[in-house]
Amino acid sequence: MQVLCSDLEGVFVPEIWINVAEKTGIAALRLTTRDISDYDVLMKKRLGILAEHNLKLQDIQTVIAAMDPLPGAVDFLDGLRRRTQVIIVSDTFTQFARPLMEKLGWPTLFCNTLEVDADGTVRDYTLRQPDGKRKVVESLAALNYEIIAMGDSYNDLSMIQTADHGILFCPPDSILKEYPHLPVARSYAQLGTILEPLLK
């Protein structure tokens, strides 16, 4: 039995925080796990910016509701789900994900959650568990699954390297230089070519 674990943002949908940055004009919100490898440092920076600009959860959700999957993502994901089991393993939050999951046809999602005050102030975030992406792969492997993992950012690397087969999808140059041994796809067509001999 086989399971494919994939990141969400940058693989099937655009980066949420980059879209928020573009809509609000706050350039500092463009930083993602492609830029900062320490997720806690990144999230604390984001929370500080939200507080500084008095941005509420509803403001972010309005941006997300207008987002669409990346071109070709829905068809590619549908094709994968016809071939194997797929789990989206993301560092996004339950409060962000619903409209995106609907547009992707409701794939299974493992993610985190935000701590939000009654007025919509995002106070903090709660990880499902530390290094959750790697632990998903380890747990599935303990159930005797063969794991394929793919993603684009620093926070995907532990998942990718722990899996039986790991693939980078449109990663930044910094990751390519640090991990030149990992297979790389820059389009869904290339990703399909890499996956074809792995899917059973």
Among all residues, which ones are annotated catalytic?
A: 7, 9
Measured CA angle at 10 (ends 4, 13), to 5 deg: 85
Contact 86, 80 (CB under 8 A): yes
Residues in the chain: 200
Contact 86, 78 (CB under 8 A): no
- Cross-sheet strand order for the sheet of 184-185: 122-126, 108-116, 85-93, 2-6, 146-151, 165-169, 184-185
* Among candidate residues 187, 55, 69, 33, the one with its CA nearest the CA of residue 121: 55
Tokens of 82: 């016809």
Q: What stretches of the chain adopt beta strand conformation (E)?
A: 2-6, 85-93, 108-116, 122-126, 146-151, 165-169, 184-185
Q: Which amino acid is residue 132, in one-letter code?
A: G
